[in-house]
Structure 1
Amino acid sequence: MKHVFPTYNRFPIDLVEGKGTVVTDKAGKTYLDFTSGIAVCNLGHCPDNVTEALQLQVANIWHTSNLYECALQESVAKLITDGDNKQVFFCNSGTEANEAALKLARKYTGKEKIITFEKSFHGRTFGSMSATGQAKINQGFGGLVPGFTYVPYNNIKAFREELDENTAAVMLEIIQGEGGVIPANAAWLLEVQMLCKKVGALLIIDEVQTGMGRTGTLYGFEQIGLDPDIFTLAKGLGNGLPIGAMVGKVNLSSAFGAGSHGSTFGGNKLALACAKEILLTMKQAGFLEDVNAKADYFRNLLEEDVEVLDNVSAVRGEGFLIGIELENTAEPVVKELRDNGLLILTAGPNVLRILPPLTVSYAEIDQAAHLLKNVLENQLIGSEEG
């Protein structure tokens, strides 16, 4: 690719067709896609009902701008909030949703200090990059947005020492996806929430990767019983159509009046038509129960056949956001799996990140687990012989 900036280490395949969990490259080779476009295609590739909704909207109108009323925005916002005492700002991505959350927190509280966590990932705009606790993400770009501080994840002592009455907000992920698929401790999360309320800091939960059923509930924080002031969505909300959402308690709306924030394409009708159908699907009786049953089945296979291998340190995660920590680097495993028809990702140098569609079948789970076991065994044999 000579005419595109080399900002990605791209895999040497060009995917041109997809249906459900199966994708096909330009050469005609098929793969099981256990990346879901990095937790985006949660209903699989080109689900019939979402495709139909998009086609209907394409035939009517694409873009009207946010200068006009939009019944579709109101409908999707109501589905996101479940009619709760919250409001939604629509944008185009997770980064933009997090940017909106940071702006709202500072404007509402009148404070600047924001606490995030080491190994976190919140995006690549200057604000969201400044919130990201990974030096490799922000190196080389000069001074970051001031006011951000990072503390160790799952460490309540370090958090207590940093939190004070000058803190506008605390931003965190329920599971640090990019940071290595690291789940938060439930007791730690609840104490963080309690301490935030005590000093008047807003709690922001970044659900860009964990939201939309990925961890087994519509939003990951629901499993813990948290009540965030703000949470953010993207990825699975559009199943591949660019959309993000910042969701905040209604009392915060006093800081986000007309002219305070905006987005030309945010909440456009094409993405919203898809998001509406996706939310309706995920709210159907039994959908998330089926996701959890399949996720438990997959996790049991991994624990029985993969976690026991000498080159595997741990299997962790929640729902269909799974990390396999290896004793050695993960990239050779990803390559061999790709050669054998299974697409997965990494999360750091030695963690395999596995993100199948929520609609994956049991047969596809069996196939993926078998390939993972065989490839990891082959890697183990190769390292011993070497």
Structure 2
Amino acid sequence: MTARSTSAILQLDESLQPPLYAKRGIVLVRGEGAWLYDSDGQRYLDLMSNYGVNILGHAHPRVTAAIVAQASRLLSCHQSFASDVRAAFLEKLLAVAPHGLSRAFLSNSGAEAVEAALKFAWAVTGRRKVVAAKRGYHGRTLGALAATGEPKYRQPFLAVLPEVVHVPYGDAAALAEAVDNDTAAVILEPVQGEGGIYPAEPGYLAEVRRITREAGALLVLDEVQSAFRTGAWFACEHAGVSPDLLCVAKGLANGVPIGATLMTEDVALALPAGVHGSTFGGNPLACAAGLATLETLEDDRLIPGAAELGLYFRQQLLALGHPLVRDVRGIGLMLGLDLKVRSTPVLKALQERGVLALPAGTTVVRLLPPLILSRDEVDLAVARIAQALDAVRER
């Protein structure tokens, strides 16, 4: 590959793709642990982990070794054939899943996992209506997009979207009023991510579980972003709730594209043969990376570690007492810094100081760091966040 300047790479990147993304103006070329490096040698503390994907950080040796070993054996294997590594991965994933989830459909992304869950709910119940939450985010394929709460994403496609009713998140009474005998499924995030980092209030998910059971509707929980990083394998476990269908992706294989739709035995056995499929879903490479990721999360005790480090991170952010900060929300290493100003200038100031973070809505700085983050790196992050807030305040 011919070496190119940073400016040439940026120009090519922008000119050869449709203008769908807000570009950051840097070229990332490698990563190590919780750090990323650009083409000019600048390093950045990664507090976004590619929207929550690199849960073990970058170039993790155990995941890398699994990928290299599997790439030398077999890359693809359609799910009409059995696969040794796929079987081992599924066994491990379902062993840590919430109670009652005993089977999984494998795909390639979070949106695909959600799309499959909705199709399965329609197929099993024979109903079409879906109830979702305002501020919710479930992806941008057509079924997932219909469930996504933000109108700006849905507006261009309203004429072709399935029927979805959106109710306020956390309002069980509003949800109960919306759920009826035509409802196939209720889909919710146990922690709303894109919407601003809003964990479900105590008792809410249990009440939703009761409402769906009484109506004969299925409960779909979208844990694409929240899985593994809240101090439990799945965020719904904090509420003691098990859904009929659960969607997971992002951190599941530490950067290799994968999605999984977990389901109960009843849902699985009610699905018509051939109702859904995926050519690349469940490929051996992704399954090998996923198995290594899950084993590392367990062996290195990173799930309870996320609870401990996340609490420390949140406490340190609150201790800043910064006048631009309205609140610090979240659970484990899924945190949101709610500001009294727009988040974009703060994110830019952070990037200038070698820290990468995300927006969530217009005023929230979203923090989804790798679970391998150290306490020293948290302290550095808090110091840089304070500097960025000061810089924005002084403008």
TM-score (norm 1): 0.96
Code of the residue aligned with 1:187 in structure 2: it is G
CA distance in 2, matches of 1:145, 1:332: 34
Superposition pairs of residues 38-49 of structure 1, within 5 angstroms: 38-49=51-62
Contact conserved, 2:247 with 2:259, CA < 8 A, in 1?
yes
Q: Which residue of 2 aligns with 1:22?
A: 35
1:256-304 CA distance string (max 9 Å, x none): 3431110000000111000001111122263322222211111111111
**Distance apart, 1:21 and its partner CA:** 0.5
Of the three residues 73, 77, 87, the one matched with 1:64 is 77
1:248 aligns with 2:243: no
Q: Which residue of 1 aligns with 2:181?
A: 165
1:193 aligns with 2:209: yes
3-state SS, counterpart of residue 368 of structure 1: helix
CA distance in 2, matches of 1:53, 1:263: 23
Code of the residue aligned with 2:332 in structure 1: it is G
Contact conserved, 1:108 with 1:254, CA < 8 A, in 2?
no
Code of the residue aligned with 1:146 in structure 2: it is P
**Distance apart, 1:142 and its partner CA:** 4.4
Segments of structure 2 that go 5 or more residues without pairing to the other structure are 1-13
Q: Which residue of 2 aligns with 1:94?
A: 110
CA distance in 2, matches of 1:311, 1:64: 52
**Distance apart, 1:113 and its partner CA:** 1.0
3-state SS, counterpart of residue 18 of structure 2: coil
**Distance apart, 1:3 and its partner CA:** 1.1
Of the three residues 298, 305, 312, the one matched with 1:297 is 312
CA distance in 1, matches of 2:250, 2:355: 21
CA distance in 2, matches of 1:187, 1:181: 18
Code of the residue aligned with 2:221 in structure 1: it is I
Code of the residue aligned with 1:276 in structure 2: it is L
CA distance in 2, matches of 1:151, 1:290: 34
CA distance in 1, matches of 2:237, 2:90: 18
Superposition pairs of residues 56-205 of structure 1, within 5 angstroms: 56-82=69-95, 85=100, 86-205=102-221
Contact conserved, 2:48 with 2:369, CA < 8 A, in 1?
yes
Contact conserved, 2:127 with 2:182, CA < 8 A, in 1?
yes
CA distance in 1, matches of 2:303, 2:169: 28
Sequence identity, in percent?
37
**Distance apart, 1:138 and its partner CA:** 1.4
Cα distance change on mapping 1:181 and 1:144 into 2, 3 Å = farther
CA distance in 1, matches of 2:240, 2:160: 33
1:220 aligns with 2:242: no
Of the three residues 263, 276, 279, the one matched with 2:294 is 279
Contact conserved, 1:104 with 1:255, CA < 8 A, in 2?
no
TM-score (norm 2): 0.93
1:131-190 CA distance string (max 9 Å, x none): 111111112224133321111111122112111122111000011111111111121111
3-state SS, counterpart of residue 186 of structure 2: strand
Code of the residue aligned with 1:109 in structure 2: it is T
1:95-149 CA distance string (max 9 Å, x none): 0000000000111111111100111111111111011111111122241333211
Q: Relative to structure 2, which stretch is displaced further, 183-192 or 92-101?
A: 183-192
Contact conserved, 1:116 with 1:132, CA < 8 A, in 2?
yes
Of the three residues 242, 245, 254, the one matched with 1:239 is 254
Q: Which residue of 2 aligns with 1:371?
A: 384
CA distance in 2, matches of 1:241, 1:197: 35
Segments of structure 1 that go 5 or more residues without pairing to the other structure are none
* RMSD, aligned CA: 1.3
3-state SS, counterpart of residue 283 of structure 1: helix
**Matched pairs, number:** 379
**Distance apart, 1:63 and its partner CA:** 0.9
1:280-329 CA distance string (max 9 Å, x none): 11222633222222111111111111xx2111111001111100111111
3-state SS, counterpart of residue 328 of structure 1: coil
1:8-62 CA distance string (max 9 Å, x none): 1110011101011011001111010100000000000110000000000011111
